[in-house]
């Protein structure tokens, strides 16, 4: 089945064309539209699984040596030759399964969530296009085709975030996402140009085979520029500002963007380019530091938000920071592992939030919720499972992936004790704000209006079944990567090892240099490596439990305390609640200036130069027409005189 890998992205494209053209042109019934949209995703997921099992049958070394599936030449110009071709290896197929699988469940959920929306057909056409672009990105065998998918998901995010474009907020959010991502994409494009300029190719296999020809400065520049692109797509500091505003789109779109598509692009790209990143230690350090900083920075903003979707948005930014921390310390498989488990529980959390909104007539403010667990039991229990997973509680998927990242951040040669500490604190903050969200939303007394209370109900099966499936995956998804220290086997790492290589040197046994430095500083006692890994694991769990306990105390046992704390630390509270005023700073420093420059060129250059030049030419033609019009007198003798004079001029010219 490996040779049929091209069907994986093709099927969603067929769904897009069918619903986008035939569905809208003939105004097809919603059942037909939804059936087509979901079926093509289901088939795409099915073929992803078939290719996965075909790879699994091969010996480990052969899995990374499967020839690319090249369909046809695309651009052949001078030294540039690119093809439409797909990469077939463990990394691309894992990503294809995650993208198509989670997207399939989101599509099914959307049938119920969007059933009354007048843009139903357009919505599913865009959704299919989004998945097609993401699958193109993760399956591409060259940088240029990856860039098509890269730009495609940016376009689709604009279309879906601004889906309800008749309202100002979604329209502005869509534009913001589009513009901010263009900033990052410029860096990606420059990095791609540098690769071609120095290596003469954009095909992955050739680039990585020739990577040793690059000097350290060049490879550092390339990797940093590619990382700039990643900060835009994956919402890292400083280009994260578009993602919270993306909540203006339909909730299933938020789930799709945050769980299965767009925001994971940057992490995947760095993992795919691990060969050149491993040659650039400065870039690796930059990626790890930015990832750790984003993880704790975004977590701090999630603590005080009351909009249920925005809390989840900042949670996504923070979790993406974890993934960048992982790939930055060289733990590429750990980063992809967390990407997969995060897709399960974050997709579930957003769909659960949509189910809550469905029950409360679209309400987003957690302060107007409460007491929902009795009336929406499926939503509550599945949401709780996802919350336990993201908090890193043992037995749930997030525990295995998060703790592998923390361990690698400490023990890897590229890691550091400080990186582990930042990650551990961010984990505690995550546990706090996620259980704050769960407690305030589902427990206590219902604070909704009396009219809303009358209509609170559980979502229909077409919405709850995807919740249950994702809840199961949020529990069992981590068991493919049980650490050896717990007596398990990391099947996930073993499957990706032919592509991403082994664990960083020193991982799996404590990095002696880090332990010695910590020991010399008096921070720890020097102990055996296995015990050290277990102790760090226990510490991270304890930190998470402390975060949960604080949330329980503040929002269930003593719900009046948060208000008093906000009054006592009003300045700090105001700064954090307003997201450190970053949007306002960007508005003052960049957006406002860009608008003024644009307005200047519009008025002075476009209106003053271009339009006036056009009007001048038109005016000259009008004047010349009026002059020539006088020649047309209507008198024959005048025309005869003109002919005679013309003949005289010709004769004189010929005589000379």
Taking the domains of the chain in order of start, what are their residue ranges? Answer: 280-576, 581-655
Give the other-Cβ count within 10 Å of 420's Cβ.
25
pTM over 0.85: yes
Residues 87 and 204: their CA atoms lie apart, in Å, by 9
Question: Does 375 have pLDDT greater than 60?
Answer: yes
Would you state the pLDDT for residue 528? 46
Question: Radius of gyration of the chain from Cα atoms?
Answer: 29
What is residue 72's three-state secondary structure?
strand
- Do residues 175 and 162 touch, judged by C-beta distance below 8 A? yes
- Confidence band, pLDDT 50/70/90 cuts, at residue 508: very low
In sequence order, the β-bridge partners of residue 70 are 85
Residues 541 and 287: their CA atoms lie apart, in Å, by 25
Question: For the chain, what percent of residues have pLDDT higher than 70?
Answer: 95
pLDDT in tens, 94-112: 999 999 999 999 999 999 9
Q: Is 121 exposed, middle or buried (0-12, 13-18, 19+ CB in 10 A)?
A: buried
- Confidence band, pLDDT 50/70/90 cuts, at residue 509: very low
Would you state the pLDDT for residue 645? 87
pLDDT in tens, 443-465: 988 888 888 888 899 999 999 99
Positive/negative CA dihedral, 143, 146, 150, 152: positive
pLDDT in tens, 175-197: 999 999 999 999 999 999 999 99
- Confidence band, pLDDT 50/70/90 cuts, at residue 526: very low
* Residue 249 DSSP code: S
CA 34 to chain centre: 24
* Residue 523 DSSP code: S
Q: How far apart are the two ends of the chain, measured CA to CA in Å? A: 84
Positive/negative CA dihedral, 96, 182, 296, 368: negative
* Residue 140 DSSP code: B
- Do residues 121 and 19 touch, judged by C-beta distance below 8 A? yes
From 204, 228, 94, 56, select the one nearest 141 (Cα to Cα): 204
pLDDT, average across residues 263-269: 95
Would you state the pLDDT for residue 258? 87
From 249, 261, 262, select the one nearest 309 (Cα to Cα): 249
Q: Is 283 exposed, middle or buried (0-12, 13-18, 19+ CB in 10 A)?
A: buried
Who contacts 329 (Cβ-Cβ below 8 Å, separation ≥6)?
A: 284, 288, 408, 409, 412, 414, 415, 419, 504
Residues 296 and 487: their CA atoms lie apart, in Å, by 31
Q: Which two tokens stand for residue 497?
A: 């090892």
Would you state the pLDDT for residue 504? 55
- Confidence band, pLDDT 50/70/90 cuts, at residue 568: very high
pLDDT in tens, 388-444: 999 999 999 999 999 999 999 998 888 899 999 999 999 999 999 999 999 999 998
Question: Does 511 have pLDDT greater than 50?
Answer: no
pLDDT, average across residues 373-386: 94
């Amino acid at each position: 089945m490996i040779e049929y890998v091209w069907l994986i992205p093709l099927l969603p494209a067929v769904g897009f064309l069918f619903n986008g053209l035939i569905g809208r042109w003939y105004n097809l019934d919603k059942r037909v539209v939804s059936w087509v949209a979901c079926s093509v995703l289901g088939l795409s997921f099915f073929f992803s699984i078939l290719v996965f099992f075909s790879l699994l049958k091969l010996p480990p070394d052969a899995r990374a040596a499967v020839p690319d599936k090249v369909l046809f030449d695309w651009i052949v110009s001078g030294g540039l030759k690119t093809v439409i071709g797909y990469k077939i290896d463990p990394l691309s197929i894992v990503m294809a399964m995650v993208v198509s699988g989670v997207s399939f469940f989101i599509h099914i959920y959307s049938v119920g969530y969007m059933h009354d929306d007048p843009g139903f057909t357009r919505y599913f056409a865009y959704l299919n296009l989004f998945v097609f672009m993401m699958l193109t990105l993760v399956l591409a065998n060259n940088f240029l085709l990856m860039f098509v998918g890269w730009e495609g998901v940016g376009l689709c995010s604009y279309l879906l975030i601004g889906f309800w474009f008749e309202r100002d907020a979604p329209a502005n959010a869509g534009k913001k996402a589009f513009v901010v991502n263009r900033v990052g994409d410029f860096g990606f494009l420059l990095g791609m140009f540098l690769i071609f300029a120095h290596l003469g190719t954009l095909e992955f296999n050739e680039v990585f085979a020739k990577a040793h020809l690059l000097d350290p400065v060049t490879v550092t520049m390339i990797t940093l520029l590619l990382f700039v692109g990643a900060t835009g797509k994956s919402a890292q500091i400083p280009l994260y500002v578009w993602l919270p505003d993306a909540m203006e789109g339909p909730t299933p779109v938020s789930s799709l963007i945050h769980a299965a598509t767009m925001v994971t692009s940057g992490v995947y790209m760095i993992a795919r380019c691990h060969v050149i990143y491993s040659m650039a230690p400065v870039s690796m350090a930059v990626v790890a530091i930015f990832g750790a900083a984003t993880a704790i920075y975004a977590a701090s903003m999630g603590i005080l938000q009351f909009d249920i979707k925005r809390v989840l948005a900042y949670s996504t930014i923070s979790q993406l920071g974890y993934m960048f921390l992982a790939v930055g310390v060289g733990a590429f498989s750990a980063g992809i592992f967390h990407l997969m488990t995060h897709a399960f529980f974050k997709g579930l959390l957003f769909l659960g939030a949509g189910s809550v909104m469905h029950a409360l007539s679209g309400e987003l403010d957690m302060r107007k919720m409460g007491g929902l667990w009795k009336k929406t039991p499926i939503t509550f229990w599945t949401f709780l499972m996802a919350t336990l997973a993201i908090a890193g509680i043992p037995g749930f998927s997030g525990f295995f992936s998060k703790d592998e990242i923390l361990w690698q951040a400490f023990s890897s040669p590229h890691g550091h004790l400080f990186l582990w500490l930042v990650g551990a604190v961010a984990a505690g903050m995550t546990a706090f704000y996620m259980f704050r969200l769960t407690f305030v939303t589902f427990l206590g007394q219902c604070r909704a209006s009396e009219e809303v209370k009358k209509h609170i109900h559980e979502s229909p099966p077409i919405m709850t079944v995807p919740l249950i499936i994702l809840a199961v995956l949020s529990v069992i998804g981590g068991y493919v990567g049980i650490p050896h220290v717990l007596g398990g086997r990391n099947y996930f790492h073993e499957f990706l090892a032919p592509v991403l290589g082994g664990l960083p040197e020193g991982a799996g046994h404590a990095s002696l240099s880090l332990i010695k430095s910590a020991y010399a500083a008096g921070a720890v006692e020097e102990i055996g490596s296995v015990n050290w890994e277990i102790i760090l694991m226990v510490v991270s769990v304890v930190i998470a439990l402390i975060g949960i306990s604080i949330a329980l105390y503040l929002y269930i046992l003593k719900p009046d305390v948060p208000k008093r704390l906000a009054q006592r630390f009003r300045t700090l509270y105001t700064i954090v609640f307003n997201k450190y005023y970053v949007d306002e700073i960007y508005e003052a420093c960049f957006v406002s200036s860009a608008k003024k420059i644009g307005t200047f060129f519009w008025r002075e250059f476009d209106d003053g130069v271009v339009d006036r030049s056009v009007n001048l030419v038109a005016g000259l033609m009008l004047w010349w027409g009026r002059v020539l019009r006088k020649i047309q007198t209507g008198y024959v003798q005048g025309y005869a005189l003109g002919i005679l004079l013309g003949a005289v001029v010709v004769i004189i010219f010929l005589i000379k």
